[in-house]
């Protein structure tokens, strides 16, 4: 009997997760992968990060487990929080030096966004590039 | 009244339809070995992300339960516990104790992994599997009995697998206002422009083709619960269809959903692998050693 009770509670939570459209009930949250509708005349935005290194190069920050640990989707999900408080980016510079001790350290980080325009689903020209925020790395 | 009673009995019967214990033994080995692959290859971000604890922003479970903050030491301890627990549990030895230890440690691991903003959607069925498997108890590869508790556990894994698709169709509806708005939109174009492989980049010049594909996807997602009642060849065809879909998204976008794919095994008569494996092992044992130099 407890089995059916637990099953029922899990199914109710899962259903609420979908109707409220929230990931917060993980692992019973919303299955919202690619659920957001996109306009055929809309824009395709993509967030990425760049960094100035100690040796003066401008490089792309590898937002993945082999790079700085945190992924692009993590940055996109917390974008408002990061723009409000760019000091959160310090931990990305720290993670880079911790995980790659011999590598060229970051001295400044940039959160960037590229925007492609669509018309009838077809890409129109080159993307717009914006800088959303920046952070000077503390040592 | 009696009609209500028999309907209730039918529901209970459906949730606890007995499953052969040998099937349990095979699935258990597959799931626990996959968890090892998961923590070292898929959710291996827990260790590097422990270097950025300021960005830890856990989901509800992580905020409500008095769970620890992420740290490198804890991440490594969890890793060791999960490895030891999975290796024991995969053999079927101490199925309850080893199983519950894995369930607890793996849950904490996943709360960390999903606690940095992005929450992935491919782990629902696997996490359900890890929680329900320890409730079954002893099951050997050579057992010939069936069990109702095993039936419930398998049904939970099956329903969680299907929910991964059906619920995603519901969210598309909730977010878009109607399924047609989603299917007639530019989701696939958007996905392929952001992370499409060279194999599929050409498709963004043909929006109508991607719109047809979107209709196909939302249709099989809405129809997915039917699979719970399919048998025989129809069931196998359904499994191949869904697993084939994941193969395509992997080739197109690098998204594989392997934690869900592995749970499709819960739909298959895995116990048939046992005599096959026995013959294989027996054959190897009986064959006399081949002297080196002769072919």
What digits encode the pLDDT tens for the residues B205-217? 999 999 999 999 9
Nearest to A25 by CA among B267, B164, B111: B111
Same domain, A26 and A81: no
Q: Does A84 touch chain B (CB under 8 A)?
A: no
Contact B59 A23 (CB under 8 A): yes
Q: What is the ipTM of this complex?
A: 0.86
Residue partners of A138: CB distance under 8 A and separation at least 6: A90
pLDDT per position as a tens digit, B43-79: 988 988 888 888 888 888 888 888 888 899 999 999 9
Q: Does A8 touch chain B (CB under 8 A)?
A: no
Residue B217 located in a structural domain? yes
Same domain, A55 and A29: no
DSSP, residue by residue, A19-34: HTT-STTTTSS---TT
Give the pLDDT mean for B20-27. 97
Q: Look at the block and give the residue holding tokens 């409730």.
A: B135
CA distance B107 to chain A (A): 9
Strand bridging mode A122-136 / B19-20: unpaired
Same domain, A57 and A103: yes
Residue B284 located in a structural domain? no
Q: Does A23 touch chain B (CB under 8 A)?
A: yes
Q: Report how far residue B86's alpha carbon sits from residue B126's, in angstroms, rounded to the nearest whole number.
A: 14
- How many domains does the structure of chain B reveal? 1
pLDDT at B264 over 90: yes
* Closest by Cβ to A77, choosing from B53, B117, B152: B117
Contact B189 A68 (CB under 8 A): no
Q: Does A43 touch chain B (CB under 8 A)?
A: no
Query: Which residues of A are less than 8 Å from B12 in CB distance?
Result: 4
Q: Domain residues for B41?
A: 21-139+146-273
Q: Domain residues for A5?
A: 1-34
**How many Cβ pairs within 8 Å bridge chains A and B?**
173
Residue B264 located in a structural domain? yes
**pLDDT band (50, 70, 90) for residue B295:** very low
Residue B2 located in a structural domain? no
Contact B44 A65 (CB under 8 A): yes
Residue of A nearest to B14 (CA): A4
Query: Which residues of A are less than 8 Å from B165 in CB distance?
Result: 31
pLDDT at B291 over 80: no
pLDDT at B273 over 90: yes
Same domain, A115 and A52: yes
Query: Which residues of A are less than 8 Å from B72 in CB distance?
Result: none
HEC string of B149-201 equals HHHHHHHHHHHHHHHHHHHHHHHHHHHHCCHHHHHCCCHHHHHHHHHCCCCCH
Same domain, A23 and A67: no
Residue B179 located in a structural domain? yes
pLDDT at B2 over 90: no
Question: Can you read off the two tokens belonging to residue B215?
Answer: 């209709």
pTM: 0.86
Q: Report how far residue A79's alpha carbon sits from residue A93's, in angstroms, rounded to the nearest whole number.
A: 17
Same domain, A8 and A72: no
The HSE-up count of residue B281 (CA atoms within 13 Å, CB side) is 6
Same domain, A123 and A100: yes
Residue ranges of chain A whose pLDDT lies below 50: none
Q: A6, A33, A49, A67: which to substitute to probe chain B, counting the most B Cβ within 10 Å?
A: A33
Same domain, A18 and A61: no
Same domain, A74 and A107: yes
Same domain, A81 and A109: yes
- How many domains does the structure of chain A reveal? 2
Are A15 and B171 spatial neighbours (Cβ–Cβ below 8 Å)?
Answer: no
Helix boundaries (H) for chain B:
2-15, 21-37, 46-49, 60-64, 72-91, 95-113, 124-132, 148-176, 179-183, 187-195, 207-223, 232-253, 258-261, 273-286
Residue B48 located in a structural domain? yes
- Tell me which of B287 and B170 has the higher pLDDT: B170
């Amino acid at each position: 009997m407890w089995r059916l009770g637990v099953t029922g509670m899990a199914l109710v939570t899962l259903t609420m997760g979908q109707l409220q459209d929230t990931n917060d009930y993980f692992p019973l949250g919303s299955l919202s992968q690619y659920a957001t509708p996109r306009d055929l005349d809309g824009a395709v935005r993509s967030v990425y990060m760049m960094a100035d290194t100690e040796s003066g190069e401008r490089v792309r920050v590898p937002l993945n487990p082999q790079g700085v640990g945190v992924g692009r989707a993590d940055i996109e999900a917390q974008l408002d929080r990061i723009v409000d408080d760019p000091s959160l980016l310090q931990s990305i510079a720290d993670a880079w030096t911790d995980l790659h001790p011999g590598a060229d350290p970051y001295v400044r980080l940039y959160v960037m966004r590229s925007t492609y325009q669509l018309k009838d689903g077809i890409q129109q020209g080159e993307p717009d590039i914006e800088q959303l925020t920046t952070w000077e790395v503390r040592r | 009244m009696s009609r209500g009673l028999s309907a209730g009995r039918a529901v209970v019967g459906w949730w606890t339809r007995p499953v052969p214990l040998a099937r349990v033994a095979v699935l258990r080995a597959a799931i626990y070995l996959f968890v090892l692959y998961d923590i070292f290859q898929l959710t291996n971000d827990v260790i590097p992300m422990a270097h950025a604890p300021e960005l830890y922003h856990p989901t509800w479970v992580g905020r409500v339960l008095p769970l620890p903050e992420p740290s490198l030491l804890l991440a490594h301890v969890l890793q060791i516990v999960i490895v030891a627990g999975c290796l024991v549990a995969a053999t079927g030895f101490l199925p309850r104790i080893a199983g519950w230890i894995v369930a607890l440690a793996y849950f904490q691991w996943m709360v960390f992994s999903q606690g940095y903003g992005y929450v992935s959607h491919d782990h629902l069925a696997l996490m359900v599997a890890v929680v329900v498997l320890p409730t079954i108890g002893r099951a050997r590869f050579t057992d010939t009995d069936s069990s109702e508790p095993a039936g419930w556990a398998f049904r939970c894994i099956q329903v969680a697998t299907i929910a991964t698709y059906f619920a995603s169709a519901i969210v598309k509806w909730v977010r878009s206002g109607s399924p047609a708005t989603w299917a007639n939109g530019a989701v696939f174009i958007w996905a392929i422009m952001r992370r499409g492989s060279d194999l599929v980049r050409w498709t963004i010049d043909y929006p109508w083709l991607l719109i047809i594909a979107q209709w196909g996807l939302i249709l099989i997602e809405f129809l997915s619960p039917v699979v719970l009642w399919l048998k025989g060849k129809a069931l196998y065809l359904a499994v191949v269809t869904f697993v084939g879909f994941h193969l395509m998204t992997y080739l197109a976008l690098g998204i594989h959903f392997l934690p869900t794919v592995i749970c499709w095994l819960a739909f298959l008569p895995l116990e048939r692998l046992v005599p096959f494996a026995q013959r294989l092992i027996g054959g190897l044992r009986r064959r006399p050693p081949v002297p080196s130099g002769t072919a």
